Amino acid sequence: MASSHSNTHTEGAKMEQIITEFFAKSLHIILESRSPYMSSRNYSGEQAIWSPSSSSSSSSGVRPRDKWFNLALKECPAALENPDIWRQSNLEPMVIDVILVQRPLVWDPVNCSPKKDFGRNISSKERCPFSWNSDQEELGCEAKTEKIIERWIVQYESRRLRDNCSGSRRSSNTLHMMYKKSVLLLRSLYATVRLLPAYKIFRDLNSSGQIRTFTLTHRVSSFFEPFTRREEAEMLLFGFTPVDTSCGRLCLSVVYRSSLSDISLESSTPMSTQFIPDYVGSPLADPLKRFPSLPVPHGSPSSLPFSRRHSWSYDIYKASSPSFSFSPSPTHSESHASISNPSSRRLPPMSLPPHPPETSSIHKKNTSFDEYYPSPNFTPSPSPSPPIYIPGNHLSKSLLRSESAPVSIPLAKLASSPVLSNRQNLPPSPPLKGTRYGNPRTDTSTGFVQIGASDEKLFSLGKDDIRKYSGMKISSNSSPRISFSRSSSRSFQDDFDDPDFPCPFDVEDDDMTDPGSRPESFDPRGLLCDPHEPGGLFPIRKSQDAAVGELVRMLKKAPPLRQDFSTSVCLSQDKMSSSSLQEQQASASIASSGLVASKTTADALEELRGYKEMKKDLLLSQAGRSNTSANDTCMQKSTTG
């Protein structure tokens, strides 16, 4: 009697341990594929040395916790950190929210303020002190949107202990069966997390080095705030078949957004231009106005504050080494070590620099114009910080070049710059292949269990759960489109309207309505004043204006062209009448010299005419002298004869 009682107690303890480890394992599986940069995919290096046939725990690469449910997973600090016990017991559900955090494409430091709609998270935090949001404090004042795209619920429902273990044999069989079914459930969980839409986001975040305007974060708690009706309409429910135990059943389900196509998840696609503050401009950009430096995290996009995958100390898991015979593992608390503590250390989210993510793509598009038109997303600033964006160097070189070669600035190119057209005709940001996931037919045809279905396959909902899930329904309708603002920052536009800026190229604004038709004319001020111009082009034109201004000043100070007119005079003499107008036009066509050149040419022509007159006079006078001398000779002859 006593032995059966002790056996029952032992079996009960084993059951508890299995349930506890089940929670930990499921958390690990979920977060491993939802926490970007927290885990590495396919660590094949370890696989090469790992011998699956080895049963020894000391074999290479097999950690004690890997043996639970025979599933060796990759490192996932998100699931393993904070090993404090936050769940009071196995009866508390574990709710894992996978949150998509989106930042606006334009970082507006002026309006930097804590986002107000954290209220929902805050209220849930207040309500459940053990829940936490990993990015509330990290992201600070950046305006961002958070959307729960998945909610996993792991729960153990206990039944009334009507039938206690009648015998150790039966309970042993039950344990074996339960363990086997748990293994199967976790296998299918592992496969399922990779088939849901959120996995693609995780994969993109992990694999690509591109700057993203979105990231994934998570929240683990034992409570959750029910979704709104609108959110419920966008979600689908998938419930895994519960695993029966002697005293209850293990339930696992997920509510997820069926489609992420409505969420604009641009990454490296071109976007509207914006300031890159603290950009070191060209030394020729002295006349440019100094702009206030904006608080920008220094460093290149590669120096994102990633939370690197750190090796996890396995000391916590020393004791928790399961075997199939269910030998009791050391203390319950150690087995709880695998559960992440939501109340302490959080995962630092991937914070994005304020640089436009698609500057690289813009740069690629403008490669043919890099010589003169580096990416518009820079501002020449005399601040000593290193240039953030590489194309600025191109501008420096181009300015130097233009200074030394004072003739043609390819204003035609600028005026009809494909940069403009590209910006206006930017391809729509490619959807994150959400359509592939969001097909309602897929979801309905896989037979995803409806919450209202009366079957045993779904976990039975307690009254509280029904309240929480009330209103949640399976919907195959696509969610309403969520617009994603991409307004470009134009607050700096007024800074360019500087009346003191010496610009000899004043042309009426009307002339710039069709810049393509007038390649010779150049009105940087007109361009600057154009409210429809993307803001990012202003700095380029400004610096080019400076270059042009310098050129003009040089031309003004240059000696007159009289010495050079010897050849031009010879040429013009041949085609005097018809070429004068042509010369005027030709000279006027030299855009950089502009009025100065025309003036000089006019003066030269005047002088030329003067010379012609003089020549005429000379010839006439010579002719007259010769006639006079001839007459004198004739008269002398006539007098002598």
Partner 1 sequence: MNCEVCQLKELEVEHFEIREVLRCILHTIVFHRALGLVRPKDIDLELFDITYVQCGDIEVEKKIDEKIEQFVSWVEKHPNKKSEICLSFYEVKSKHPSWFTNKIERLDWEQWHINLNVTQHPKPKAHSGKSHHSKIVVDPGESASEERSVRRASLEVSLREVLFQIIKFVNEKKDHVPPITESVIYFPYEIHIPRKFL
Binding site for partner 1 (CB under 8 A): 41-42, 44, 46-47, 50, 52-53, 55, 61-62, 66-67, 70-73, 176, 179-181, 183-185, 187-188, 190-192, 194-195, 199-200, 203, 240-241, 324, 433, 436, 439, 441-442, 445-448, 457
Question: What are the Cα distances from residue 421, in Å, to 243, 414, 518, 536?
Answer: 60, 11, 17, 14
Kindly tell me which of 456 and 632 has the beta carbon lying closer to partner 1: 456
Q: How many CB atoms lie within 10 A of CB 46?
A: 15
Please report how close the Cβ of residue 594 comes to partner 1 at its closest, in angstroms.
48
Q: How many CB atoms lie within 10 A of CB 287?
A: 15
Please report how close the Cβ of residue 180 comes to partner 1 at its closest, in angstroms.
6
Please report how close the Cβ of residue 178 comes to partner 1 at its closest, in angstroms.
10
Kindly tell me which of 266 and 583 has the beta carbon lying closer to partner 1: 266
Where would I find the H helices in 213-271? 229-233
Please report how close the Cβ of residue 194 comes to partner 1 at its closest, in angstroms.
4
Kindly tell me which of 100 and 551 has the beta carbon lying closer to partner 1: 100
Please report how close the Cβ of residue 379 comes to partner 1 at its closest, in angstroms.
39
Do residues 355 and 388 touch, judged by C-beta distance below 8 A?
yes
Kindly tell me which of 203 and 289 has the beta carbon lying closer to partner 1: 203
Of 270, 273, 278, the C-alpha closest to 535 is: 273
Distance CA 381, CA 539 (A): 10
Kindly tell me which of 118 and 448 has the beta carbon lying closer to partner 1: 448
Do residues 547 and 409 touch, judged by C-beta distance below 8 A?
yes
Kindly tell me which of 186 and 271 has the beta carbon lying closer to partner 1: 186
Please report how close the Cβ of residue 529 comes to partner 1 at its closest, in angstroms.
43
Q: Measure the CA angle with vertex 107, ends 101 and 110; round to 5°.
A: 125
Please report how close the Cβ of residue 28 comes to partner 1 at its closest, in angstroms.
12
Please report how close the Cβ of residue 450 comes to partner 1 at its closest, in angstroms.
14
Query: With b meaning 16 or more CB within 10 Å and e meaning fewer, what string describes 85-97?
Result: ebbeebebbbbbb
Do residues 235 and 258 touch, judged by C-beta distance below 8 A?
yes
Kindly tell me which of 448 and 501 has the beta carbon lying closer to partner 1: 448
Question: What are the Cα distances from residue 179, in Å, to 34, 241, 245, 421, 453?
Answer: 26, 14, 9, 63, 27
Please report how close the Cβ of residue 224 comes to partner 1 at its closest, in angstroms.
24
Tokens of 245: 């135990």
Distance CA 44, CA 63 (A): 16
Please report how close the Cβ of residue 439 comes to partner 1 at its closest, in angstroms.
5
Question: What are the Cα distances from residue 69, in Å, to 14, 29, 306, 442, 507?
Answer: 14, 12, 31, 30, 77
Kindly tell me which of 243 and 339 has the beta carbon lying closer to partner 1: 243
User: Which DSSP letter does residue 246 get?
Assistant: S
Distance CA 389, CA 367 (A): 14
Kindly tell me which of 188 and 470 has the beta carbon lying closer to partner 1: 188
362 contacts: CB under 8 Å, gap ≥ 6: 270, 356, 375, 376, 377, 419, 422
User: Which DSSP letter does residue 150 get?
Assistant: E
Kindly tell me which of 55 and 300 has the beta carbon lying closer to partner 1: 55
Kindly tell me which of 41 and 625 has the beta carbon lying closer to partner 1: 41
User: Which DSSP letter does residue 381 get?
Assistant: B
Please report how close the Cβ of residue 156 comes to partner 1 at its closest, in angstroms.
17
CA 298 to chain centre: 16
Q: Measure the CA angle with vertex 28, ends 252 and 93; round to 5°.
A: 40
